[in-house]
Amino acid sequence: MNASINGFRMHFDDAGKGAPILFIHGFPLNRTIWKAQVEALRKSYRVITPDVRGYGESEATPGVYDMELLADDMAALLRHLQCGPAIIAGHSMGGYMLFAFYRKYSELARGLILVSTRAVADAPEGKANREALAQRVEQEGPQPVVEKMLAPMLAAAAIAANPTLQSEVEYMMRNASLPGLAGASRGMAARRDATDLLSKITVPTLILAGTADALIPHAESEKMAQAIPNAHLHLFEGAGHLLSMEQPQEMNRVLAQWLKKFDSL
């Protein structure tokens, strides 16, 4: 469905009934990365999966997509649906958004699920690479993003086990809007370091990562797990960056187990 959210037309799915869980996808993907989680969890929860502005079927806007802006979008969506506080999951860039969200809207978060992400900001070289990528996208379209992101997104084992997986991911990348790809690249480059926030997170937090993630080393997840007071870490052996599609059954099992703690809260 669509709604006017924070000044643009956002597309999202809202499935099931129960405690709300919001799943935020990463760069340069869309809400369909959570398809298996929606199918499994909608039986017991209200599962909300938005397309971030500029991605999937959501409208694109020009300019830099700062993580604070994208966090405002998510808070506005929860208010529109009248369903906060929610348990909120963020994959990679979705995790960067979650840190910005928690700084500003902690009252809307009942629990956090940090998937294949990190708290640290980019080093100067990483920031420059993102700006170069944004400029190439503006001139050439999505091809430079596909060249940079497709190969490291999935572990070889996942591609071998599911021959259509890589083309599904490529399809998402090629269908992202150019302002979305450029705007989020610049927004990620500008993001604030969240290391100082970790010890202040008071809600239950689940941290998930693949041991074969070629984009964000799982050591980043181990560091976050040590710094966040009420955190539980689960590593997926042999999985790459896109856990929700690479190991959907195992991820659903881990999510269902961890979510039980909210039944009694």
Q: Which is nearer to ligand MLT, 92 or 247 (CB)?
A: 92
**Smallest distance, Å, CB 92 to ligand MLT?**
3
Q: Which is nearer to ligand MLT, 89 or 259 (CB)?
A: 89
Q: Which is nearer to ligand MLT, 46 or 191 (CB)?
A: 191
Compute the half-sphere exposure of residue 12: CA atoms within 13 Å on the CB side of its CA: 27
Residue 32 binds ligand MLT, judged by CB under 6 A: no
d(CA 144, CA 125): 18
Q: Which is nearer to ligand MLT, 130 or 234 (CB)?
A: 130
Q: Contact with ligand MLT (CB under 6 A): which of 77, 93, 201, 254?
A: 93
d(CA 146, CA 134): 13
**Smallest distance, Å, CB 263 to ligand MLT?**
31
Q: Which is nearer to ligand MLT, 188 or 194 (CB)?
A: 188
Q: Which is nearer to ligand MLT, 41 or 181 (CB)?
A: 181
Residue 142 binds ligand MLT, judged by CB under 6 A: no
Tokens for 206? 């689940």
| Contacts to ligand MLT from residues 207-246, by CB under 6 A | 215
Q: Contact with ligand MLT (CB under 6 A): which of 92, 177, 221, 244?
A: 92
Q: Contact with ligand MLT (CB under 6 A): which of 12, 20, 24, 26?
A: 26
Residue 206 binds ligand MLT, judged by CB under 6 A: no
Q: Which residues pair with 233 in a beta bridge?
A: 207
- Alpha carbon of 167 to those of 39, 110, 170: distances in Å? 21, 35, 5
Residue type, 264: S
Q: Contact with ligand MLT (CB under 6 A): which of 27, 34, 45, 105?
A: 27
SS3 77: helix
**From residue 98 to residue 137, what is the string marking binding to ligand MLT with x (rule CB under 6 A)?**
----------------------------------------
d(CA 137, CA 177): 10
**Smallest distance, Å, CB 43 to ligand MLT?**
28
Q: Which is nearer to ligand MLT, 27 or 99 (CB)?
A: 27
Strand 46-50 to strand 86-91: parallel, antiparallel, or no bridges (unpaired)?
A: unpaired
Q: Contact with ligand MLT (CB under 6 A): which of 78, 188, 208, 239?
A: 188
d(CA 237, CA 248): 13
Q: Which is nearer to ligand MLT, 93 or 176 (CB)?
A: 93
- Residue 99 has φ and ψ, to the nearest 5°, of -65, -45
Burial (CB < 10 A; 0-12, 13-18, 19+), residue 50, is buried
Contact 190, 66 (CB under 8 A): yes
- Residues with Cβ within 8 Å of residue 93, at least 6 apart in sequence: 26, 27, 52, 117, 184, 188
List residues binding ligand MLT (CB under 6 A).
Answer: 26-27, 92-93, 188, 215
